Structure 1
């Protein structure tokens, strides 16, 4: 039979991802505070969707550790615990270390230029106190080797655990420590350009390991 022209299934998948992204970002940017109760009906009204994609999104958020579900009762926004931060930080750091080590031999001049441009945007955003801009630029910079390495399993792991760190990164990039990251990015790019796989991988690992226990509570 011919391929159906309807895209209902794709639309539903995009809707689920969109709802998940909205709720995830609202937790990360502090719209929803730790300990706050999340009710299906209220969230559905806010986003203008049915309760089904809300429930699916809350389940995904529970897997990342951003919310805690209390069976038969409610779902609440989780706190930023030192243990959760340590565990997510170690996993994310290891994934970026692997991505950089695999990507360095394949990085092109254009790839390196994208990283330099992202770091310039990052520096400008940090200087201006634009936390959202700093996060976006930081994602763009580190996303280059992640994309070049092409490891889908690695990308899936990062998608699950990076949101746990994102609330702490917001605090970091709003402080003097954010300016220190500019130099770390410069060193990462320099080593990538030099073809130093191990050195670049070590810097990438250390960049994320720099999210210390002191950033959590």
Structure 2
């Protein structure tokens, strides 16, 4: 038996999604609209199994205060917001009014818009302006890859002990082994930085384009 993760055919991936938390009508329509309206950018949307995992993890840590860096059309934020405890709040950072206008509509349809605060502007500045205390329960990083080290440096000191950070696209389609552009090089260096960070316990998972989970000590 192989010790590596099983390669997923389209059929096996569909089976996996169907036997986890399968997308409901709102999620399906959000995914479909994103592919139809933004076909060149649709790959930036999290995979359906990632969306389900984000809700699961948010619930698992009992998150009340969460942050997302990189919102796009809102699927990951919707998933996190659904997992928050009653009265919980998700603060999202993004630079695109166009993409997030789609997100706002689907948050409202899902009934989570009262839990989401969207801040348009550079995420580094927005994160730096957050309270300087360990109050965050959950964070998700999925924005410009060159910015990952800055986002990490702002988030880790603000995470409560036991808080969880999820980081997307840490495999870059496998190119972390032989970086081809600035984004690849940034992620390869970032992965090494996270591995050496004594403030966290880390696991990297082969979900979609690679997902790192870091538990803050």
TM-score normalised by length of structure 1: 0.22
- Identify the structure with the greater strand proportion: 2
TM-score normalised by length of structure 2: 0.22
